[in-house]
Amino acid sequence: MIPARLLGLGHANPPHDLHQDVARDWARVQFAERFPVFERMAPVFTNAGIAQRQIARPVEWYLQPQDWATRTTAYREVATALFIEAARDAIDAAGLAPDAIDIVVTVSSTGIATPSLEALAHAELGLRTDVTRVPVFGLGCAGGVSGLALAARLAAAQPGARVLLVAVELCSLSFRADMLSKSNVVATALFGDGAAAAVLSTAGPAQVAVVAAAEHLWPETLDVMGWDVAPHGFGVIFAQSIPTLVSRHLRDALVSLCSGMGVAEAEIGRFVCHPGGAKVIEALEASLNLAPGTLDAERAVLTDHGNMSAPTVLFVLQRLLAQGGLADDRPGMMLALGPGFTLSGALLRQAA
């Protein structure tokens, strides 16, 4: 089977910047008096490795009470706009027109829209009436890698078809002033909003090809990460320390992934990782036997945009490719962790 080639990448962020000191001050006002452990947790804002993020609405919007209706309205409006912007960016980078797209894969877990986002964006973006739509929900932070893997499989299964992947997440819509939990404070320190897109096909000029993909789901870990569905909106669940889980279990899962993809870990020239937070990046470097500071592009994306969930690893990939691509002629391995609890991997090679 001919592997899918990555013809173009794109991204988009909402226009509202949230600087980390503003986020910390906002959280202190919301939580300090009602949640006694807040001050012990407050250093997470300084230690997260984030300078600023972009969020769906102006800061003042988050200071007002919000419910499912207002959050859903914001999701439909902002996610659709970001979908269109990121998709156009990727389609332009691929040297195509929107009506050349045959299949659209939409990855999003931070809101619910029916019709789904690619249908809401369809007319303005200029997609064909016979485009195949594949909306995917629930992958969380693993969605960038799992979505790319799915898009690559679809492209390889239909040689010559052009597949558009768009990952859109508005994590800030889960900010909950009514939710007094450690997970909610951590989410308030980490999450930002954004969209990333990719165009894949078996034919066309490209830097890299997606040649294999695999996942590893750990048993009895359903409570590690996910959403609590409550009357006022989604609330984040972090039942265990993600950096600790990475340190303890990533290596065995990586061996499983490499075996499934037919590659030796020693062959991999560059890991391309989802930067969940500064401590997660440190745990990844240690678990992957990388020198401290190796995951520089991951840190740069985290600093500028925060943890945007699924799109974030595609931001990292776009930054790396803009800097010259993969190391030498060795393959790259994209990695992301998400609800399940799952490690998702995709193997990249220089396109011939």
Residues annotated as part of the active site? 141
At 348 the three-state DSSP class reads strand
Dist. CA 45–CA 191, nearest whole Å: 11
| CA dihedral sign, ordered 92, 153, 168, 117 | positive
Lookup result for tokens 């990695």:
335
Q: Half-sphere exposure (CA, 13 Å, Cβ side) for 28?
A: 12
Dist. CA 329–CA 2, nearest whole Å: 19
Dist. CA 125–CA 117, nearest whole Å: 11
Instruction: Work out whether strand 163-170 and strand 103-107 pair parallel, antiparallel, or are unpaired.
Output: parallel
- Tell me the chain's radius of gyration from C-alpha atoms: 19
CB 331 within 8 A of CB 163: no
The two three-digit tokens of residue 108, written as one number: 């999003």
CB atoms closer than 10 angstroms to residue 300: 15
Residue 135 has phi, psi (to 5 degrees) of -80, 140
Instruction: Work out whether strand 16-19 and strand 103-107 pair parallel, antiparallel, or are unpaired.
Output: unpaired
CB 332 within 8 A of CB 271: yes
